[in-house]
Amino acid sequence: MSPSPIPAFKLNNGLEMPSIGFGCWKLGKSTAADQVYNAIKAGYRLFDGAEDYGNEQEVGEGVKRAIDEGIVTREEIFLTSKLWNNYHDPKNVETALNKTLKDLKVDYVDLFLIHFPIAFKFVPIEEKYPPGFYCGDGDNFVYEDVPILETWKALEKLVKAGKIRSIGVSNFPGALLLDLFRGATIKPAVLQVEHHPYLQQPKLIEYAQKVGITVTAYSSFGPQSFVEMNQGRALNTPTLFEHDVIKAIAAKHNKVPAEVLLRWSAQRGIAVIPKSNLPERLVQNRSFNDFELTKEDFEEISKLDINLRFNDPWDWDNIPIFV
């Protein structure tokens, strides 16, 4: 029996984006193709990747295998990628996109986001890819004076060229969204942000949704992904899977904590992009819409908000995006 279709959000450009996707961050190169292929068989259609994740070739292999076997068509798959910080200069934007398209083995991406509102010095692809924090000078951070609007205008041209269907931003605060609106011809379709009970960002989400931007949450399980990276803040923060409030709500609804966390975002009108290596979790992470959290559940979860951000560029080089 085929998996049931995942509900979709209609973006502000009229295109549709699945409300539940499969996150490709930290998918290992040796397993990524199989994981993506298996996720497609489990009913996932949105794959959230990025140049910085270093696995777009493998993600592309998994998608291509599913297409070649007739499981899906390219048009049924929604591929998201993100422009990394070293490629913000307009003359480098298309170079980076072309690398992504080649790696993913496609002619266009469905959604291309500016990963961070930060412009690092350009590093040629043949020198190091993905460059990560490398800016061409050892361990030193080196920046370029490239306004966000210039990068955005380059993306708009690539939409018109047919290489990108929708454009958006990631890790942008409200002030930068407001500024981008003043100069953009094509409005951002999507805002992707860190979002979990420890970092709820209600005003940012309210503003984005008010102006017609669809919000996608990453790190829906809070510190979980960052514990795996031995990050200090995450290691010192109680996991949401074991938090008494989340466990109590899960028990009340006969669900597991992961389903409560994903449903909490979904009921706020937010898309989610969880990932899992386990087949049973693949199904669980896309089938959490069969129950409703109550007003009381929301009130209890709202008390967990402590503005705790795990993905903060201040930790890299005192970059003041969220200060």
- The verdict on residue 315 lying in a domain is no
**pLDDT beyond 80 at 152:** yes
Mark whether 129 is an active-site residue.
no
- The verdict on residue 321 lying in a domain is no
Averaged pLDDT, 257-283: 89
- The verdict on residue 123 lying in a domain is yes
- The verdict on residue 3 lying in a domain is no
Report percent pLDDT > 70 for the chain. Answer: 99
- The verdict on residue 319 lying in a domain is no
By the 8 A CB rule, do 191 and 215 touch?
A: yes
Least confident of 48-62, 155-169, 275-289: 275-289
- The verdict on residue 206 lying in a domain is yes
State the chain's mean pLDDT as an integer. 95
By the 8 A CB rule, do 213 and 190 touch?
A: yes
- Report pLDDT for 317: 98
Averaged pLDDT, 198-223: 97
**pLDDT beyond 90 at 207:** yes
- Report pLDDT for 1: 57
What CATH number is given to the structural domain containing 38? 3.20.20.100
- The verdict on residue 1 lying in a domain is no
- Report pLDDT for 225: 84
Burial class (CB in 10 A: 0-12, 13-18, 19+), 230: exposed
| 212/290: higher pLDDT | 212
| The total number of residues written for the chain in this structure | 323
What pLDDT, in 10s, does the model give residues 26-79?
999 999 999 999 999 999 999 999 999 999 999 999 999 999 999 999 999 999
Number of domains in the chain: 1
- The verdict on residue 323 lying in a domain is no
Q: What DSSP string describes 126-163?
A: TT-SS-TT--SSTT---B----HHHHHHHHHHHHHTTS
Least confident of 83-87, 289-293, 298-302: 289-293
pTM for the structure as a whole: 0.96
Asked whether residue 115 is marked as a ligand-binding residue, the answer is: yes
Selected catalytic residue, list 44, 53, 129, 218: 53
- The residue range of the domain holding 24 is 8-310
What pLDDT, in 10s, does the model give residues 2-14?
677 889 999 999 9
Please choose, from the candidates 83, 112, 78, 107, the residue with its C-alpha nearest in 3D space to the C-alpha of residue 95.
Answer: 83
**Which is it for strands 16-18 and 21-23: parallel, antiparallel or unpaired?**
unpaired
- Report pLDDT for 228: 84
